[in-house]
């Protein structure tokens, strides 16, 4: 197990993912973690992340200095190296020249440690405005760049290593090898983090937490809640009750698919709350996207609470919270508090209904959840489902949401999905969907003038949704989509393709 201390780096989740890609479990903790807790975790190594602060600032984040006396190998990255230097009696000063982006790295010391086997000349990714002025006693420089003499340093005797650059990003040519060296060469970790081992541990933990009590889960049909449901069902069987709220804002056939998969195939206890009318009436006359989200969230909670109260003996509420949500919600120096997806978020229900939370996926990243789904025997259709917004089609209808407009968008979206799958592009895309605009355009159909709706097609590629590029779909595929939508979806006479990337645009339109 590797412990990662979060100093607020934009890359700390990426560090964790890189470690887990090597089948080594890791955990991110804030710098306020106590030494006793570290001993209790018994990590084989510690990584000190980067961060936006300068170590000489009054309120810069720090972990207890005693961490260096635990005898545990430590790797400091960027700010993590600077903290290590400062804590052990060295000096960190402001750089005359800040260094951001790619830099040529020259290895000064061949041998073992983090830089074992790394080419003498390679490239790395820098992002810092401070530098090491004086190293602590026992340290020596192992690599340099033109602007940064101490680009890497080590006290091999104490197994303390530091990199001023970021090995976790793909721009650092041999970053993967450097992390491998730390994990296996220095820390002697074993490759024991697999989804098979996770399932065994998670089932045991769920049973220990829940005991003989009942659990309620808000099931959306998305990847996270679906995998959580199957995992919980494996652990406690019929003592899990899933509540599916049919809000009328779903894709074509979505409710029926959920019923077939979880009710018939997995034989789960799934309660269906039909509330289409409540949601559509609640959205009547509302065009502002933020108001839409709030209205949908409020009605969802009302419907869910009403259905959940019918389930006698329930003491736990399950949610599909993922590790990034958990990290952000408790990060003292990182990003904003987590905003858990609205189709998982049941507001104040746990407290209001006196329910205890159980979050079986809270230590997993999205890609790991997909792997877990496969381990649990779930189909690719569910495991590789593209992200779908909690408020559903309401945020893909620009302007007022009505039954008529929902039918148009739902049918157009169904055509798009059919063609994307038929062209074998579904798994290649992060998201693909249709958007209904609040404008109409002139057209000619059957020698008659028409004035009908415009559909936008959006398809993007991405690794994590932080950035995204518009997908370069084949023209013949786009042509089939356009032709079918105009011919088959009554009320549409024009289809356009969104070629905006994120940033500056967002993936969704609202």
65 pLDDT band (50/70/90 cuts)? very high
| CA atoms of 309 and 313, how far apart (whole Å) | 10
What is the per-residue pLDDT for 348? 54
| Residue 316 token pair | 């736990």
What is the per-residue pLDDT for 449? 86
Burial of 185 (0-12, 13-18, 19+ CB in 10 A): middle
Average pLDDT of every residue of the chain:
91
User: pLDDT (tens digit, 9 = 90+) per residue, 357-388?
Assistant: 999 999 998 889 999 999 999 999 899 999 99
Please give the domain boundaries of the chain with CATH numbers for all domains. Answer: 2-186 (3.40.50.880), 195-383 (3.40.50.620), 404-497 (3.30.300.10)
Residues 294-314, mean pLDDT to the nearest whole number: 91
Output phi, psi for 164, to 5 deg. Answer: -75, -20
User: pLDDT (tens digit, 9 = 90+) per residue, 149-179?
Assistant: 999 999 999 999 999 999 999 899 999 999 9
Burial of 199 (0-12, 13-18, 19+ CB in 10 A): middle
User: pLDDT (tens digit, 9 = 90+) per residue, 316-344?
Assistant: 999 998 888 777 666 544 433 333 333 34
The angle subtended at Cα 151 by Cα 150 and Cα 153, nearest 5°, is: 65
DSSP 98: E
What is the per-residue pLDDT for 341? 38
What is the per-residue pLDDT for 135? 97
Alpha helices in 22-131 (DSSP H): 35-41, 79-87
User: pLDDT (tens digit, 9 = 90+) per residue, 440-489?
Assistant: 999 988 778 889 999 999 999 987 777 899 999 999 999 999 999 999 99
- Active-site residues, by number, are 78, 166, 168
Spell out the residues 6+ positions from residue 266 whose beta carbon is closer than 8 angstroms to its own.
229, 230, 233
Burial of 132 (0-12, 13-18, 19+ CB in 10 A): buried
CB atoms within 10 A of CB 59: 7
What is the per-residue pLDDT for 353? 66
């Amino acid at each position: 197990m590797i412990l990662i201390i979060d100093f607020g780096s934009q890359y700390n989740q990426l560090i964790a993912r890189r470690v887990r890609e090597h089948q080594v479990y890791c955990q991110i903790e804030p710098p306020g973690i106590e030494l006793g807790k570290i001993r209790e975790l018994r990590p084989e190594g510690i990584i000190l992340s980067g961060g936006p602060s300068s170590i000489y600032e009054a309120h810069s984040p720090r972990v207890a200095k005693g961490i260096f006396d635990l005898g545990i190998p430590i790797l400091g990255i960027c700010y993590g190296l600077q903290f290590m230097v400062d804590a052990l009696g060295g000096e960190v000063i402001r750089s005359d020249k800040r260094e951001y982006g790619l830099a040529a790295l020259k290895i000064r010391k061949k041998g073992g440690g983090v830089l074992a086997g790394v080419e003498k000349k390679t490239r790395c990714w820098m992002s810092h405005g401070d530098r090491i002025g004086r190293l602590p006693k026992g340290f020596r420089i192992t690599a340099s760049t033109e602007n940064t003499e101490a680009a890497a340093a080590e006290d091999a005797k104490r197994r303390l290593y530091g990199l001023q650059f970021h090995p976790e990003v793909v721009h650092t040519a041999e970053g993967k090898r450097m992390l491998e060296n730390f994990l296996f060469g220095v820390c002697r970790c074993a490759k024991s983090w697999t989804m098979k081992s996770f399932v065994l541990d998670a089932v045991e933990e769920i049973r220990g937490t829940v005991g003989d009590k009942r659990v309620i889960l808000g099931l959306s049909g998305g990847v996270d809640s679906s995998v959580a449901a199957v995992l919980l069902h494996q652990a406690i069987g019929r003592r899990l009750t899933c509540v599916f709220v049919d809000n009328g804002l779903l894709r074509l056939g979505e409710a029926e698919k959920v019923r077939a998969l979880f009710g018939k195939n997995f034989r789960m206890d799934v309660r269906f709350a039909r509330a289409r009318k409540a949601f559509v009436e609640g959205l009547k006359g509302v065009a502002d996207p933020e108001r839409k989200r709030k209205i949908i969230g409020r009605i969802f909670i009302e419907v869910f609470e009403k259905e959940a109260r019918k389930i006698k003996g329930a003491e736990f509420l399950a949610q599909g919270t993922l590790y990034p949500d958990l990290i952000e919600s408790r990060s003292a120096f990182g990003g904003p508090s987590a905003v858990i997806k609205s189709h998982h978020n049941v507001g104040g229900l746990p407290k209001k209904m006196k329910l205890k939370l159980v979050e079986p996926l809270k230590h997993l990243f999205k890609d790991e959840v997909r792997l877990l789904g496969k381990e649990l025997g779930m189909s690719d259709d569910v495991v590789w489902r593209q992200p779908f917004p909690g408020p559903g089609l309401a945020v893909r209808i620009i302007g007022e949401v009505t039954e008529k407009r929902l039918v148009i968008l739902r049918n157009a979206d169904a055509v798009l999905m059919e063609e994307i799958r038929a062209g074998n592009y579904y798994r290649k895309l992060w998201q693909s969907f249709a958007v209904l605009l609040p404008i109409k355009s002139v057209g000619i159909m059957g020698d008659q003038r028409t004035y009908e709706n415009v559909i936008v097609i959006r398809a993007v590629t991405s690794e994590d949704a932080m950035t995204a590029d518009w997908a370069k779909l084949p023209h013949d595929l786009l042509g089939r989509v356009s032709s079918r939508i105009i011919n088959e979806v009554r009320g549409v006479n024009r289809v356009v393709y969104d070629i905006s990337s994120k940033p500056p645009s967002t993936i969704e339109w609202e």
